[in-house]
A and B are shown apart, each in its own frame.
Chain A
Amino acid sequence: MSLEPLPQERQREVLKTTFIVIGLWTLWLLFISTLSYSHRLSMSAVAVVLLFGSFWWTLTEGAFFILLMSWIFHAFSLTPPGFYWISIFCVFAILKIASYRFSVRSPQELGIAVLIAALLCDFSQLIFLKQIAPIYVFSFSTLGFIILSAFLQAGLALLLMRPLLSLFSTK
């Protein structure tokens, strides 16, 4: 006898877990937007949500949920939601493809996965920003802050590795 839950139950679980994760992400955004720290560092933790999504969502579902995330993020940032959606969805698509081949089971893998995903998120935004803002001039200080932010988010993910690893491995 199979212990696998019925597809419909499984789908309900995905929906429930997704809204919990997006809700927690919204609370995290609330927290960091009111926190006193140098806002030259990115702490949005969108990479963690995308990693979760790459294991739990299909590409179409991801498009819907990222649309919702882009509207939520715009409540905390000047970032245009369309710009945010396209840059984050590109990263999600890459992570989705990677999830067919790779898995996240150990703390080291979690740290590396968040580091890479966070780098991809900021780099994709940087690339799109360069396309849409003609006055944008690349500077190495921005690059430094992106790399520092990615390491910081990977470190934070390691602090929360137990719940995160269970999220990534239960799928």
Chain B
Amino acid sequence: MLFPSVNRQKSWLFFLLVILISLNLYFHFTFSGSLEERSRFLDGIFARALYPLQKLFDFTETSVHSGATSFSRMLEAESENKKMRVQIEEQELRLYELEKLRADNARLKGLVDFKQAQPLNFITARVIGRDASIFFKTIEIDRGFEDGIDNAMPVVSPAGVVGRVLRVGPKASNILLVTDINSKMDAVVQRSRTRVIVGGSVEGALTLRFLPRRFDLRQGDELVTSGLGNFFPPGFKIGVVLGLAQDPNLVLQQAELEAAVDFDSLEEVFVVKQK
């Protein structure tokens, strides 16, 4: 026995083990509860305690990576370059937002109850960590509630939708990527303006499931967020239809999407502060 001084209380230790495991299984094994509820248990303590170390590791990794790839460059120029890149991405995002608003404006001009979309506010954040499991898709950013981040805030990049805020700490937050199996969102096919539900998968691909057989969807169709549910802002790119899986024996069909965002090389993201 590992705990020699408590040999007499072996049964109590075993009882404690059973209680801990039961609680652990109760709170976390089921997928029926909301993700937010599941992520607020004891394990949040570990996430907060490990944040300074993670920040340190991220800093070390970034420094080594930067040194290896741009050995000949001056460090000051590199730093300036990074700042400019972030600024350009911010500008690109704002430009994209303006173009989207203009397109929406033209399309909806004739509608009576048209409500013009207000410009969005963004919080720029750096990706400092990724999910250690291959079955779940999350990232960690270096902004927390001290920076104004709140649960369920949408996260985007100039390329398209990234995900939503899942767990918020004081200085860091976890983002549930749209490619995660727990993720689902309302989308619109740009060509036909029909609505679909886009979900993630274990392998990290975006999928469209439960489509009727006669659903008007073609390879190359672009999907954007619909804005329904007041969750993701409308008009942000999600991905492009790669192909349809049509089985003549099935009533429904499914399709696979190529995500607009390259999640492997994601470095900076923008958290959307709603209006």
Contact = CB atoms under 8 A, between A and B. Distances in A.
Interface in A105-160: 122, 125-126, 129, 132-133, 135-137, 139, 141-142, 145-146, 149
A38 to B, nearest CB: 5
A162 interface: no
A85 B25 contact: yes
Nearest to A66: B21
Contact of A29 (B1, B24, B132, B203): B132
Contacts of A70: 24
Which one of A8, A63, A67, A78 has the highest number of Cβ atoms from chain B below 10 Å of its Cβ? A78
A82 B29 contact: yes
Nearest to A63: B17
Interface string A28-68: 01111111111111111000000000000110110110010
A125 B57 CA distance: 27
Nearest to A142: B203
A71 B138 CA distance: 17
User: Could you tell me the dominant secondary structure of chain A's interface residues?
Assistant: helix
A26 B28 contact: no
A77 B181 contact: no
Given A77-B136, A146-B134, A34 B203 contact: no
Given A11-B4, A32-B132, A67-B20, A40 B14 contact: no
A86 interface: yes
Interface string A4-19: 0001100100110000
Which one of B29, B35, B199, B209 has the highest number of Cβ atoms from chain A below 10 Å of its Cβ? B29
B182 interface: yes
Interface stretch (B40-48, B112-120, B146-154, B225-233): B40-48
A35 B130 CA distance: 8
Given A26-B50, A139-B203, A80 B38 contact: yes
B115 to A, nearest CB: 34
Nearest to B30: A132
Contact of B132 (A44, A61, A63): A44
Interface in A81-95: 81-83, 85-86
Which one of A8, A60, A74 has the highest number of Cβ atoms from chain B below 10 Å of its Cβ? A74
B30 A38 contact: no
A78 B17 contact: no
B173 to A, nearest CB: 13
B25 A132 contact: no
Contacts of B53: 27, 30
Contacts of A14: 2
Interface in B18-66: 20-21, 24-31, 35, 38-39, 41-43, 46-47, 49-50, 53-54, 57-58, 60-61, 65
A142 B202 contact: yes
B128 interface: yes
A78 B24 contact: no
A102 interface: no
B174 interface: yes
Interface of A: 7-8, 11, 14-15, 26-27, 29-44, 57-58, 60-61, 63-64, 67, 70-83, 85-86, 122, 125-126, 129, 132-133, 135-137, 139, 141-142, 145-146, 149
Interface of B: 1-4, 13-14, 17, 20-21, 24-31, 35, 38-39, 41-43, 46-47, 49-50, 53-54, 57-58, 60-61, 65, 128-138, 140, 166, 174, 176, 180-182, 199, 201-204, 209, 264-265
27 contacts: A30-B54, A31-B61, A34-B58, A36-B61, A39-B137, A40-B134, A42-B134, A60-B13, A63-B17, A64-B17, A67-B17, A67-B20, A71-B46, A72-B50, A73-B133, A74-B46, A75-B43, A77-B133, A77-B136, A78-B131, A78-B182, A80-B38, A81-B24, A82-B29, A86-B25, A135-B181, A142-B134
